[in-house]
Amino acid sequence: MGPMLNLPKRVAVDTNVALDLGAEVEVVCDAIDTIRARVAGVELVLPPTVLVELAYAAEQVSSPTLRATARRALREHQRFGFRLVNYVSPGREAVARIAARIRAKGLLPAQEVHDSLILVESAALSCGLLMTGDRELRAVDFQRLVLELGAFDLVAPVIATPREIVREFFR
């Protein structure tokens, strides 16, 4: 095993990553294992909007496979090493206002309400990394994001896919 990295201790996990872990997608399992092996004391968190999306998928979607995967991700969150977060310090209204500003500034498309909420929640939770497979989140201009979130005294998390994590840190 390689040396432990001195990286931020909190990693936010997006809905698609939680679902992929629930479905035992190999690259996602490898990414989680890599983070745990390389970052001492890491905490994997599911932000509030991720919990809402998983709960919706577990009960409301038409696909039985997706429902079962969402249920497994929620039911086995402790085994997966996730901490569920129901509240973020600035409060729901402040998070929504900051997320709306991110969309208004064109960092995310206007229809990506949940993605913008997850991004702001991740920053408010002091996550150094947001692990996602979402194309829109990956396309965010990081330098502009740093400035926009900085105006609210929030630090932007690095946004990476599970594949990028495995490729960059697995040695």
Asked if pLDDT for residue 17 goes beyond 90, the answer is yes
Could you tell me the pTM of the whole model? 0.91
Evaluate whether residue 5 is within a structural domain: no
Question: How many other CB atoms are found less than 10 A from the CB of residue 85?
Answer: 20
Closest among 76, 101, 77, 98 to 88, alpha carbons compared: 98
pLDDT at res. 130: 97
Query: Region 143-161: what's the mean pLDDT?
Result: 96
The residue among 46, 34, 75 whose CA lies nearest residue 164 is 34
The answer to whether residue 2 is domain-embedded is: no
pLDDT the model gives residue 170: 62
pLDDT one-digit tens code per residue, 64-115: 999 999 999 999 988 888 999 988 988 999 999 999 999 999 999 999 999 9
Following CA atoms 45, 27, 156, 118 in sequence, which dihedral angle do they give, to the nearest 10 degrees? -50
Tokens encoding 126: 């002091």
Q: Are 98 and 49 in contact (CB under 8 A)?
A: no
State the residue range of the domain holding 51.
10-169
Identify the residue with better confidence: 1 or 108: 108
Tell me, yes or no, whether 124 lies in a domain: yes
Looking at the domain assignment, is residue 3 inside a domain? no
Count structural domains, the chain.
1
Q: Residue 4 falls within a domain, yes or no?
A: no
Q: What is the CATH number of the domain that holds 16?
A: 3.40.50.1010
Per-residue pLDDT tens over the stretch 37-67: 888 889 999 999 999 999 999 999 889 999 9
Residue 161 CA to its chain's centroid (Å): 10
